[in-house]
Structure 1
């Protein structure tokens, strides 16, 4: 039976972040998955960094833009960080992504590595649920000029410096003044990011179907500064009024050092990341399993 996805790109978590060395077992896992894909009649390519760092040869090595132009689906083996990284790069191509969890929590890489063949087989032949997640477009403006521009799937975070005190931030929504906040920082999170840093800072979890964002202050000086849920059609502007060594982080990977008077603009991107899940996938099942909620009831 011919698979719906004929050309599959394999993207892996291939090294320890601290040492840069190949993670034990990662090469074996990737080779096992590649062999399975071939057995299903798929053409297999490896993302170029995955191929280089794992040392796997025998498959075409493609850069992310080449994957977007040539491949029908990306199969991500790792944790949510791996998925966030490739998701931002492939969103403009509309390439769907399937996640096999080799990390810890795995909110969006949700297929267990054990017995992945059983789950993947029907998905490759068209039995799946599709889940679209809009990206955030973030910019840093300095004296009216854009000095930094990045996409984020989880969040945009304005943080104080590691050795400095609180920052003061002026917050506007659609050009309307909201508040001056003194805090350790401020998070603008998507529904995808609402289960990440925003959750640990006291924010609510947003269902991924909600077209919204949540603004979550980090350790605010005034305790009445609470999280706010906004429409993602809004534009949020955050100005650094005071504070040393502050920074803007986009999914905690892209970073811009801020100066007093800098403005961080946050708006909905034109691009979405397409996640594919096994048939019958449910967001609440994921929350219950990953957050270890009481599983009583029918």
Structure 2
């Protein structure tokens, strides 16, 4: 006599084997870039970039107006294409004339991207590392980690480059936070549950501690590759966007550190 349960028939297999919140996140990022690329007039797109991107110099002058002259001197000292330098100097004068603090930009900059390559690069990593986090912790913890990572990355970028007037854009800091969170558990060996019914889902293994991660060769290789890659981000200019935008290695690092240390707190709360 067959004692196995009557499982519902599988009528169709999903095209994208990702949690719904990850699919929705990718749809939002792609949709926003498509809207900017194909629908918004250039003037509206520039206005959206100014209002939603994170501009360190604007925050520096808003917090300390005495730094306005320092910011203008930094813009004057820029080297490169004369037209680009002139545009950045003009934008620096605009920032000094209207140094309004915009706290929402610490999160909204993550919704904007400089090119389709930039969007694809971030969404591929989001699918790879956001999916295990969403499966294990659910939609709101997944979203919280991404948000805190974006904010932490933006804060570190402003602290390290306070006089920059190049708008910071891209979801890389939030994705880096999800990468760090996933690294705490995805590199463990699969759980052993011999003797259990094949339909029974094993309990999620506990997070690896930092010493355990350092003894995990796969995790160490991943961390080293990530650090080296982000070092190269800071040395080599990658064609991920327009010259007036920036994808900063320090924002990646801030997001990664935030996700790495935030996840254990969320894991304790979940348990």
Bigger relative contact order, structure 1 or 2 (CA pairs below 8 A, ≥6 apart)? 2
- TM-score in terms of structure 2 length: 0.28
- Greater radius of gyration (CA): 2
Structure with more helix by fraction: 2
